[in-house]
Amino acid sequence: MPRAARDHGTDGWALVLPLKPLAVAKSRLTDYAGPLRPGLALAFAKDTVAAALRCPAVERLLVVTDDPAAREALAALGALVVPDAPGSGLNAALAHGAALLREARPEAPVGALSADLPALRPAELGRVLAAARGPRRAFLADAAGVGTTLLTAAPGVALRPAFGGASRERHRASGAREITLPRVDSVRRDVDTGDDLRQAWLLGVGPCTRAAAAPLTVDGASP
């Protein structure tokens, strides 16, 4: 596994982000975004990766994807990018990425972060990661209070991702501690639908999403 571009010490976070092939990513945006959907999916991931890499708490960031365009674009931002070797869905990809990160730095805490957080703020991510510190696993629910945008595990603890659908309840039932912090909306605001994108836009999306969503208008305003 290649070395990360940055090194903040032995206790910095190692994060893994999953990304489907762009042709099938973010399918629930199809009616809203039409042919712009693949470009939006990549833009979300680019803004998420760029913001996460600006967070001082993050030492390594690995993206698991089989999409050639995404591999090139995200590697250019400084992410480590590996193929989806399991090819068995989201949670298998996350477990694979976490295992690779653990091989490189077994003493680092690891986390699985959603790749569709276009309004992500480095300072807010840092606050959530600080709250996630502990001896076991922790998670942050999404803005809807149904899913999960971040799952973490202490060194030596299996990540055990259970993302997809009502993952908040699954992670809670698995023994992971829920992180409850105010004013971390950008870390909770994932984007699956047009309404999600409008809410992220109000928070302030990154430059890639702003450019990709510019052709979309709602009541005369973007996105």
DSSP assignment letter at 82: E
Annotated binding site for phosphoenolpyruvate: 148, 164, 167
H/E element holding 55?
Answer: none
Q: Provide the CB-side half-sphere exposure for 109 (13 A, CA).
A: 23
In-domain check, residue 223 = no
Residue 166 pLDDT level (bands cut at 50, 70, 90): very high
Per the model's pLDDT, the better-predicted residue between 185 and 5 turns out to be: 185
For the stretch 17-66, pLDDT in tens is 999 999 999 999 999 999 999 999 999 999 999 999 999 999 999 999 99
H/E element holding 111?
Answer: strand 110-113
Q: How far is CA 208 from the centre of its chain?
A: 15
Whole-number pLDDT of residue 10: 47
Cβ burial of 184 (10 Å; 0-12, 13-18, 19+) is buried
Whole-number pLDDT of residue 223: 75
In-domain check, residue 3 = no
Residue 221 pLDDT level (bands cut at 50, 70, 90): low
In-domain check, residue 220 = no
Strand ranges of the sheet holding 80-82, from the earlier edge strand across to the other edge: 80-82, 58-64, 13-18, 110-113, 148-153, 137-141, 177-178
For the stretch 69-84, pLDDT in tens is 999 999 999 999 999 9
Annotated binding site: 148, 164, 167
CATH code of the domain containing 147: 3.90.550.10
Whole-number pLDDT of residue 11: 73
Q: What pTM was computed for the model?
A: 0.94
In-domain check, residue 81 = yes
In-domain check, residue 5 = no
The whole-angstrom separation of Cα 113 and Cα 142 is 11
In-domain check, residue 7 = no
| Residue ranges making up the domain that contains 60 | 13-213
For the stretch 6-16, pLDDT in tens is 443 447 999 99
Q: In sequence order, which residues have a C-beta less than 8 Å from that of residue 115 and are 6 or more positions away?
A: 17, 18, 19, 44, 45, 48, 49, 63
In-domain check, residue 152 = yes
In-domain check, residue 179 = yes
Residue type for 117, please? L
Q: What's phi and psi for 56, nearest 5 deg?
A: -60, -25
Q: In the chain, how many domains are there?
A: 1
Whole-number pLDDT of residue 83: 97
pLDDT at 2 over 50: no
